[in-house]
Structure 1
Amino acid sequence: MSARVATGFAGRMEPSSRERTLADLDRLADLLDTRWRIPGTNWRFGVDALASIVPVAGDISTALVSAYMIKKARDLGAPGHVLARMVGNVALDTVVGSVPVLGTVFDFAFKANRRNMTLLRRHFGRT
């Protein structure tokens, strides 16, 4: 028996599978963007900001994880305009994040994956 996710019309996931997938993507976005807090502040950061310390390679590796999230959004049935905005967020994060020093600061401030999850949740009617 296959471990594939149950899908409905046009490959879109059924609501129960969709909610589980969205929850998994939320956890991944949290790990990438907001997992830890700087003590004494409300500033949060994740693996994306830490990886940006390694020029180019760190940003490319987190961009690949973000691309996986976009692929899962497509599997969920997100429309093209939502996917395009998600790709734009990740592209901006990757390009600006690759700039030495400035990119690391940018990665602490710009949360591409959290933004992408907000887009997905808004599209599916859950904030």
Structure 2
Amino acid sequence: MDFEVPLGNDPVSIRRRVEALERVLERAFVVPGIRREVGLDAVIGLVPVAGDLIAAAMGLYIVWEARNLGMSKWQLARMTANVGFDTLVGAIPVAGDLFDFLFRSNSRNLKIIRKHLDKHHPHTRVIDA
């Protein structure tokens, strides 16, 4: 797995950055016993208030990168709503922490970005073997 994150503003670089951040936020490691992938979003969400705000800021970075791609206001609004919903429900003690393991706003947002990139910048696609 390649962990080099490009710094450019071209669609390929943005795609790789967003995919890397989504991997860290949603699928960084596997919980032993239940074999469930979790990431930094769920872990830092365990810290009351500050953890949820930090996770929201990282999620909003993905939305900012989508804006840099020239995505529509509707797509950006959907992505922002995903982050907002995740943050609001995630802020509820205990139930919100469980919710963070199930609702992956960053994965949903990555799916929206990939769909946009595949349509408007097909050269950014990477075929996994």
Q: What TM-score do the two structures reach when normalised by structure 1?
A: 0.83
Given candidates 51, 55, 63, the residue that maps to 1:58 is 51
Q: Deviations over 1:84-103 (max 9, x none)?
A: 11001000100000000001
1:32 aligns with 2:38: no
2:116 corresponding residue in structure 1: 123
Percent identity over the alignment is 37
1:95 corresponding residue in structure 2: 88
Given candidates 70, 73, 82, the residue that maps to 1:80 is 73
Root mean square deviation of aligned Cα: 1.7
SS state of the match for residue 44, structure 1?
strand
> Matched residues in 1 for 2:96 and 2:33: separation?
23
Q: Deviations over 1:24-74 (max 9, x none)?
A: 111101101111112243411111101111111100011011111111110
Give the count of matched residue pairs: 114
> Matched residues in 1 for 2:61 and 2:83: separation?
11
Given candidates 34, 42, 50, the residue that maps to 1:49 is 42
Within a 5 Å distance, the mapping from 1:13-32 to structure 2 comes to 17-32=10-25
Runs (4+) off by over 4 Å: none
Q: What TM-score do the two structures reach when normalised by structure 2?
A: 0.81
Return the letter of the residue paired with 1:58: G
> Please, which runs of 5 or more residues in structure 2 have no aligned partner?
1-6, 119-124
> Matched residues in 1 for 2:117 and 2:11: separation?
9
